[in-house]
Amino acid sequence: MNEIGHFIDGARVAGTSGRQADVFNPATGQVSARLSLASEAELQTAVDAAKAAQPKWAATNPQRRARVFIRYVELLNAHMDELAELLSAEHGKTVEDSKGDIIRGLEVCEFVIGIPHLIKGEFTEGAGPGIDMYSMRQPVGIGAGITPFNFPAMIPMWMFAPAIACGNAFILKPSERDPSVPMRLAELMMEAGLPKGILQVVNGDASAVEAILKHPDIGAVSFVGSTPIAAHVYAEATRHGKRAHTFGGAKNHMIIMPDADLDQAANALIGAGYGSAGERCMAISVAVPVGEKTADALVEKLIPKIEALKIGPYTDSAADYGPVVTKASQQKILGLIDKGVEEGAKLVVDGRGFKMQGYEDGFFVGSCLFDHVTPDMDIYKQEIFGPVLSVVRAKTYEDALDLPTRHEYGNGVAIFTRDGDAARDFAARVPVGMIGINVPIPTPLAYHSFGGWKRSSFGDLNQHGPDSIKFWTRTKTVTSRWPSGIKEGAEFSMPVMR
C-alpha cells in the first residue's frame, strides 16, 4: 500500500500522528493509498523550518526568486504527463482535463516570473521640503493555504506561486482526497532551486486546519472549498489576527436570451455543466432560457447531446467526463436528484441508473437534466457539484437577472445573446464576481484576479493577478528627510503640507 506522509523541510517524511485516511481511485472505487493526517506537533515542525528559511528567501533579490519559477515552469511542462496521470488517478477527471488543471496553475507561475516588476513600490521625490516618501511591499512571513479536491494542481499554485515569489514561506494543507499531485508540486519546486522550508505540504483534515488557524507564526491564510468551511476559516483566521481570504461554493447561472445562437448555447452548456463531472466551482449548474419558445428549443437541443455524453474512467481517452470523487459525493448527488423529482422538477434526462461496465464499484454518476426547476427547490438552492443541470424558465430578461441576483452564491454567471446592450446591462447590474458574455466559464486568466461575491467569497482580495501580490505582502511607507532639510526647533501642531 502506498503511504503518503508530508513534505517538510525539503523532503518527504512519514506521518507520526497515527491517524490516517484512505485515498481512492474513484474509477475503481479501490483504496490506492493511505494518507497521514498531521498533528499539531507535525505542523509545528513545518513552521519551525519555515521560520528558519524565510528571512533569507525574502532577502534574495526578486530576479533570483523569479528564476526559480522560470525553471519550475520548464519542469512542470517536462512532467506534464506524469502529473496529469497522478491527478486523474486520485481525482477521476480525464487526463486532458487534468492537464488543464495543471496548466491553469502553471500560468500563475508564469505570471509571478514578473515579480521584480509586480512587487515594486512607489516613490515621491520632494513630497515636502527635502522630504522623499516611498513605499515598499514586504512579505507577510509565513502563509498557509487550504485547498479543495477539485483542482489539486491549479489551486495550490494559485496560492503558493505568488506567496513564494513575494518572499514568503508557504505551508500547503491540500485536500485529503487527492494529495499526490501537491506532494509532487512541492518536490519539483525543490528541483527548480527553491530553498528547503519555503514550500511545505502538511497533509491532514480539520484538525490540521484548526492548528493552522490558531498558530501565532502564520500571518496569512488562503482557503478554497465549500462555503460553510470558508465562512468558518475566515472567521477563525481573522479572530486570531491573521489576514485571510476564503472562497466558497457556487451556483452559476447561464442566461440564454431569445436572440442567442442556441446551438452555441447548448454546446456551451454541455461542456460547462458536465465537464469534470460538474465538479468545478465555475461549472454552470443552472440554465435560464428567457421565454417559453427559447426554453422549449433549448431543452430539445440539450436532451440528445446529454444522452450522448460518454462517461468513463480517466484511462479512456474518449470519455467526456469521469467518476465523481468519493462514494459519499456520489450518494449525495443521487440523493439530491431524488429530492428534485420529489419536489416536482421534471427529470428529462435520468442518469440515475447508470452503471459503468467493468467499473461497477467506481463512483460514476450518469448525466441528468432537470426542466421546470423553481427557486424554492433544494436542487436550485444547493450546490449539487455533480453532472446535473437544472433549467429554470424565466419569462423576461428582468426575471432572469433576478435569479443570480437573489441566489446566495455569486461566483460566476454567463449571458448568451447577440444584443450588446443587454449584455452590457447584465454585466453592470448582476451582483456576481465573474461574468461571461457568450463565454460559459468566465475564469479569469492568471494576470487578472479570480473571486466571487456574496457567500462565494469572504475577505476582500482575490486569488492570483494583482490582488495576490497585495494579499501576500504588507505595505511599508517611509518618509525621509536629511538633516539639510530639517528646520530649527520642535513642532507641536499636526504636521501638514502647506
| Cβ contact 36:20 at 8 Å | yes
Among 36, 39, 147, 468, binds ligand NAD (CB under 6 A): 147
Kindly state whether residue 170 participates in binding ligand NAD, applying the rule CB under 6 A. Answer: no
CB of 152 closer than 8 Å to CB of 182: yes
For the bound state, the minimum distance from the C-beta of residue 313 to ligand NAD, rounded and expressed in Å, comes to: 21
Residue of the chain from 112, 157, 181, 281 that contacts ligand NAD (CB under 6 A): 281
**CA 158 – CA 465 distance, rounded (Å):** 9
Beta strands 457-458 and 243-247, pairing class: antiparallel
368 included as an active-site residue: no
CA 344/CA 378 separation, integer angstroms: 11
Task: Please report whether residue 157 would count as binding ligand NAD according to CB under 6 A.
Answer: no
Using CB under 6 A as the binding rule, whether residue 458 contacts ligand NAD is answered as no
Binding part of the chain for ligand NAD, among 32-40, 124-132, 140-148, 466-474 by CB under 6 A, reads 140-148
Establish if 148 lies at the interface with ligand NAD (CB under 6 A). yes
- Contact between 452 and ligand NAD by CB under 6 A: the answer reads yes
- Supply the angle between the helices 62-78 and 154-165 in degrees, to the nearest 10: 160
What DSSP character marks residue 74?
H
Task: Establish if 473 lies at the interface with ligand NAD (CB under 6 A).
Answer: no
By beta-carbon proximity to ligand NAD, the closer residue of 188 and 324 is 324
- Is residue 363 involved in binding ligand NAD (CB under 6 A)? no
Give the residue with the Cβ less far from ligand NAD, 78 or 206: 206
Residues 389-428 that bind ligand NAD (CB under 6 A): 411
Query: What is the amino acid identity at position 228?
Result: P
Q: Which sign, positive or negative, has the C-alpha torsion 79, 84, 85, 89?
A: positive
Cell of 310: 460518454
Minimum Å distance from CB 282 to ligand NAD? 8
Least distance (Å) from ligand NAD to the CB of residue 484? 53
CA distance 44 to 134: 36
Question: Which of 33, 157, 229, 365 forms a contact with ligand NAD (CB under 6 A)?
Answer: 229
Closest CA to 412 of 387, 372, 383: 383
Terminal Cα distance for the chain, rounded? 74
Nearer to ligand NAD, 149 or 397 (CB): 149
Asked if 446 touches ligand NAD (CB under 6 A), the answer is: no
Residue 178 near residue 202, CB atoms below 8 Å: no
DSSP label at residue 181: H
* Cβ 176 to ligand NAD shortest distance, Å: 5
Enumerate binding residues for ligand NAD (CB under 6 A). Answer: 146-151, 173, 175-176, 205-206, 209, 224-226, 229, 247-250, 281, 383, 385, 411, 452, 456
